[in-house]
Structure 1
Amino acid sequence: MNPDLLRELVPGVIGVLVRRGADFASVEDAVQEALIRALSTWPSDPPRDPRAWLIAAAWHKFVDAARSDASRRGREVAFDLTPAPGPVPATDDTLRLYFLCAHPALPANSAVALTLRAVGGLTTRQIATAYLVPEATMAQRISRAKKRIEGLPFDQAGDLPTVLRVLYLVFNEGYSGDVDLAAEAIRLTRQLAALSADPEIAGLLALMLLHHARRASRTGPGGRLIPLAEQDRTRWDTSLIASGVGILQQALARDQLGEYQAQAAIAALHADARHAGETDWPQIVEWYDELLRLTDSPIVRLNRVVAVGEADGPQAGLKALTEVSPELPRYTAVQAYLLEKAGDKGRAADLYAAAAHAATSVAERDHLTREAARVRQS
């Protein structure tokens, strides 16, 4: 049994049941129960038509729940529980589900969880394991998200930037449990790109592929963080890089530049350098200027400072740093890096230590602590 094929069927199954008159929240629960049953029965007894099997199983689960609820509440069910005979139309509701699950009314973590359930076809347990939270906690999060969007039309126009942000949040999560969230985000973004020609979707897919290509070189033994300049580039996945660059070039040719395309262009320039010394920093600065024009993001402005320091020297970088808020995460680490390049190793070591103290992850804290020790010993 192919788990990816099983999960790809989920949006279509939900769409069929919703068009029969069922509410999204109840349908999504029924489909999840059908998925769990499929995972246990299909390996020994695979169906001839997986999609039809899932639709029938989910519909039966929904009908049982609806009848039980109607009996308990003493009311009539508001729709026909007997579906029309004949084959089910092969309508693809995936795009509608993306927009519904990543609705702007939902908090980011709820939108991510609901997207992984309804569009990705993951079980609550799989999502909880990936996010390192108890299954009950994740179940409550998903339940609250479904209540939040209750009553919204299934075909309501969605917000593409929110959908893309949710997918990028999924991509940037960890890799715990039996679900690789980065790979899952790439799968879902490929799916979305097949449904829409919007160049920003292609830009996000390219960005994911270019980042994912460096995954094997990003950490060392024990999860030790390895900075980009020190990564073993022979371990980068050249096929993913080529695919990402190709997708990006097609998107840029549409001449509708967006933030994900600009980020992907920066990632492509890093991927194009055979070693750190060959990086085209002046062009990266130009792309950061484009990105700032599009987003005016403080984080982008801080990242641009690093590029300026590489392209024009540490003093130019320190000057650019004065235009950035010291409250930003990584501000102190960037300042330490530029001061070290400028030769002020004493202040750099102290700032590396201060940055380590404020780090939000163990890997980042340990890396900055090692940097402080290295600079003091040099």
Structure 2
Amino acid sequence: MRVLLTTWGSRGDVEPLAGLAVGLRELGAQALVCAPADEEFAALLARAGVPMVPLGPTVHSVVAGPKPPTAKDAFRLAPELVAARFETLTAAAEGCDALLATGLMPAGARDVAEKLGIPYVLACFHTLGLPSRRFPPGARPGKQSPREETDLRVLWEQDAQRVNALYGEALNRHRAAIGLPPVDNVRDHVLTGRPWLAADATLCPSRGMTELDVVQTGAWILPDDRPLPDDLEAFLDAGAPPVYVGFGSMAAYAPKDIARVAIEASRAQGRRVVLARGWAGLAPIDDADDCLVVGDVNQQALFRRVAAVVHHGGAGTTTTAARAGAPQVVVPQIADQPYWAGRVADLGIGSAHDGPTPTSGSLSAALASALTPETRARARTVAGTIRTDGRTVAAKLLLDAAGRDRRSVTV
């Protein structure tokens, strides 16, 4: 059996698909991933032994400029991605038995599956984009809701209108070209009534969060058995556990001077620092030997050996740190990151920094809270509740869906 998995987004959108692809392979199925052709993502998928087909522009080319992308950029990118999905996925999905999509509003993926007559699944890594009676929609480019509007039903309707403005014309034009009727609500069309949630239930409970029939599988964790680099091993062995600081794919979004702020905050707590370079290009602030810069390393192994993890609050980093039992300090910047910061604080496994731009003092205070014995003990307790079988659960569900009537276009 052969399955097509697709996404467009940061590493946090790509790595779970690599994990799911491994889960499918473990069950004897083949998986192909369509994803942006950033070198980092291509290397990750190659390491997992998963074939890749490039999709759309690289993410780095969109988000790694000196300033964050604008609304104008979003309205230019949206139809470009729709066109890329119709072209790339149509070819890649030939001979496939199911198509699963995730990442930035994958408009076009369901439509390709519909044309080919294969099941389609929409997966997400949190519940914040799912219409809800409990919380308002997140920020999205386009005409904004009036500040005085508080009716959640109205706010979610206006969110759907913003999605239509971004994707509607391009989606329906491409649907018409392959003989499919138009859709009038792109968001709900993409989401379906039964989206999958690839997140751990302890970290991201789904009950009551949306009226959709969510299928929660657990996180899709990619196994990582890479040894840590020799210099990192030597650094870890040379003293007490250091603080890890990393902001992943946050290039233009990373707080100004975050390397300096984080190093000074860690030193104030008597801790050395492992600084992840990431897309923000974090670098040491002096020649002191208490700071080591690393590139792409095995976080699953590293986080078990650090005193705390300071990060931006991506779903993947939050889950990896939670599994490792490492206390966390989350400095959220955009999208779902404030949610993960709140969950870390609510669970007592770390601290949520108040605001996206820390000072040495404010980050030192958050770090002091995360470094307490009580927080460390709580983090270890919660680590024992994190399920590790999410990729297998999802792989079995996907193969079951693929084995049904191929004319069923959603599951």
Q: Given the two structures, how large is their TM-score scaled by the length of structure 1?
A: 0.27
RCO higher in 1 or 2 (8 Å CA, sep ≥ 6)?
Answer: 2
Larger radius of gyration: 1
